[in-house]
Amino acid sequence: MSEAAYSKGLEGVIAGESAIGLVDGINGKLYYRGYNIDDLVAYSTYEETVYLLLFEQLPTASELAEFTVNFRSGRHIATPIQDMIRDFPQAGDPMELLQSVMSYLSGYVAHKIKHSATCNCRQTLHQVAQMATVIATYQRFKEGKPYVAPREDLSHGANFLYMLRGKEPLPYEADILDKCLILHAEHGFNTSTFTARVVASSLSTCYSGISAAIGALRGPLHGGANEQVMDMLAEIGTVYNVDTWLDKALLEKKKIMGMGHREYRVKDPRSFVMETFLRDLSDKKGDSKNLSILTKLEKSFRARMDQKGKPLYPNVDYFSGSVYALLGIPQQLFSPMFAMARCAGWLAHILEQRKDNRLFRPECGYIGPAPLEFVPIDKR
């Protein structure tokens, strides 16, 4: 074994270089290709953000128009894909389905798959475009409802809600969801993105990389925290129960879901934006139950952490589940929706990996026995 440095979980290790996303954990800022996410949320759309991530710069008006037509025309899913979704067992997990469907899609592309930095996937984009259709269709079939074909005149957020509900969402609902997708589109070398890059480094296909990334995202240590926040809210029940619940949870050394982050030492910049969406939606829908519990819980949690000197603040998942719930999205779709937004980031990283590729093949620190003499079975 060589004397190479070892860090469990690669914590603190720079495992590659990237020009895509910058997570500034000290100052609580997040940038995509140099643009602050606050500006992207204020002035951009999910589709323009996808362009930015994949083509490395903001588009001109004509570039965006062309890209949008292309992107939206790729939303349709072939009949065999619909059949695959329909046949998925009711009790199955949608993340497992999503992972399989993404690989299956590779058989339904008109172009010949090219494994290169100028991969056709940047043009066809159908993993990013079709993931939303797959998720909405899964939910429709699960509820015994018919397939709703995607529309090409709607933004990505609006189209998703349209396919899910079978009718157009209100403009403010579509706008909020589109911006939620921007917030989740990219986040540096997180576990799923790193997985996608490792797969890409063997010069495998985008489909394999994205499918593997979904598998990594599925785990509770990565995606899925927003679903656990919803379970926590149900357990707390009312705003009057927050302090009693919190003290008991901390005494039992439980982690408070939606709090803390490996990178951010201050409040996650995405959680500020999510909080404003939740305030807005709570107001418009006349339902502020979750908002009031989350606000009180944050205040009480921060007061206790300040006393202990721990820099633990809300992350993006603290508010996102409640935003989705007020948009009428079922809890089991929260992780798939994370994948739907992050797919753009995964694809950008796969393309970047290929541009200057070196196969990921780290060393293993062997801790097993020294060479042993083989004992025949009758002598053991």
Give the per-residue contact string, 199-238, with ligand COA (x = CB under 6 A; - = no). Answer: --------------------------x-------------
Among 49, 127, 133, 315, binds ligand COA (CB under 6 A): 315
Other beta carbons within 10 angstroms of residue 363's beta carbon come to: 9
What is the DSSP code (8-state) at residue 31? Answer: E
Q: Is 310 in the site for ligand COA (CB under 6 A)?
A: yes
Q: Confirm whether 261 is a catalytic residue.
A: yes
> Which of these segments, 72-80, 97-105, 288-296, 307-315, binds ligand COA (CB under 6 A)?
307-315
Binding mask 68-97 for ligand COA (x = CB under 6 A): ------------------------------
Q: Which residues make beta-bridge pairs with 259?
A: 314
Residue 90 DSSP one-character state? T
- Cβ–Cβ under 8 Å, residues 320 and 334: yes
Among 33, 126, 218, 261, binds ligand COA (CB under 6 A): 261
Residue 283 falls in the annotated catalytic set: no
Task: Give least dist CB 311 to ligand COA, A.
Answer: 9
Phi/psi of residue 37, nearest 5 degrees: -65, -25
Q: Smaller CB distance to ligand COA: residue 298 or 317?
A: 317
Provide, rounded to whole angstroms, the least separation between the CB of residue 122 and ligand COA.
Answer: 28
Q: Can you tell me which of 74, 260, 269, 321 binds ligand COA, judged by CB under 6 A?
A: 260
Under DSSP, the state recorded for 24 is E
Contact flag: residue 47 with ligand COA (CB under 6 A): no
Tokens in use for 207?
A: 């489909």
B/e letters for 82-105, b = 16+ CB within 10 Å, e = fewer, are bebbeebeeeeebbebbbebbebb
The DSSP 8-state label assigned to residue 268 in this structure reads -
Q: Do 193 and 298 meet the contact criterion of CB atoms below 8 Å apart?
A: no
130 versus 190: smaller Cβ distance to ligand COA: 190
Distance CA(23)–CA(28), nearest Å, equals: 8
Catalytic-role residue among 156, 184, 187, 261: 261
Number of residues that bind ligand COA (CB under 6 A): 14
By annotation, the residues acting in catalysis are 261, 317
